[in-house]
Amino acid sequence: MPMPTRIAVRSAALAAGLVLAGGASSPARADLVFLTTGRVVSVEALESVDAKRIRLVLRRGGEIVCARALIARVAPDELSRTLPAGPVVQVQLPAGSPGGLDAITDIIDAASARHGVDRTLLRAVIEVESAFRTDAQSPEGAMGLMQLMPATAAEYAVGDPFDAAENVEAGTRHLRRLLDRFEMPVALAAYNAGEGAVARFGGMPPFRETREYVARILQLIQ
């Protein structure tokens, strides 16, 4: 049985055309594959399975085999080339967090279990968003532990966005929905900059703030 042809995704034009002829080559970076289902995955290579199917070799491990027709387009994953190297940082819940440290920890762990969002990721998002302050409010109007914007709070029927339980429940549900739609880096970018920005730029927005936000969270959960 012949081995599948493996290529690195070297350019959007090459990948979008799914030109898979030629020998194998080692991937130099990752790219984002946009599927017609709306899902976005970060890959390090494509493998031709047969005339109708493609194997996506995921950057974070694992593989997906899908129909060629499901691939809408491929674009460079700029984040994979711009994330700064840094030491592993343990996520620490700060002493003196308004609302009570133990209560916040319990709320985070419960929301994590209910919605299947890793609690380390959830804590990292809250650390970056609000430094675990229930009373945090941004100049743009984001509120509470997970910095819910008014529209997001309304979407999830939040009565008091400064209530730790309500805020974390809504923020976790929103993050879960984004993780179901996008690979983690893009989901985090969508949480920060909005799904509209991700849709407008076809992936990771070019905003420095968003890229630094994603990088900080990924460093925290390493």
CATH, residue 128: 1.10.530.10
Residue 76 is predicted with a pLDDT of 67
* DSSP character at residue 120: H
152 with 205, same domain: the answer is yes
Range of weakest confidence among 83-97, 148-162, 185-199: 83-97
Is residue 87, in this structure, part of any structural domain at all?
Answer: no
Is residue 95, in this structure, part of any structural domain at all?
Answer: no
50 with 136, same domain: the answer is no
69 with 110, same domain: the answer is no
| Alpha carbon distances (Å) from 76 to 72, 196, 215 | 14, 19, 17
List residues with catalytic annotation.
Answer: 129
34 with 117, same domain: the answer is no
Q: What is the pLDDT of residues 31-83, one digit of tens each?
A: 777 777 766 777 778 888 898 888 887 765 567 788 898 888 887 655 544 44
133 with 49, same domain: the answer is no
Is residue 150, in this structure, part of any structural domain at all?
Answer: yes
Residue 30 is predicted with a pLDDT of 63
CATH of the domain at 49: 2.30.30.100
The parent domain of residue 134 ranges over 101-220
Rounded to the nearest 10°, the torsion over CA 207, 87, 60, 21 is: 80
121 with 209, same domain: the answer is yes
Is residue 148, in this structure, part of any structural domain at all?
Answer: yes
Residue 183 is predicted with a pLDDT of 92
39 with 121, same domain: the answer is no
Structural domains in the chain (count): 2
Residue 12 is predicted with a pLDDT of 34
Q: Contact 97/132 with Cβ under 8 angstroms? A: yes
65 with 159, same domain: the answer is no
Is residue 50, in this structure, part of any structural domain at all?
Answer: yes
- 1's enclosing H/E stretch is none
68 with 110, same domain: the answer is no
Is residue 58, in this structure, part of any structural domain at all?
Answer: yes
On average, the pLDDT of the chain sits at 77
Q: Contact 220/127 with Cβ under 8 angstroms? A: yes
Is residue 19, in this structure, part of any structural domain at all?
Answer: yes
Is residue 211, in this structure, part of any structural domain at all?
Answer: yes
Better-predicted residue by pLDDT, 202 or 24: 202
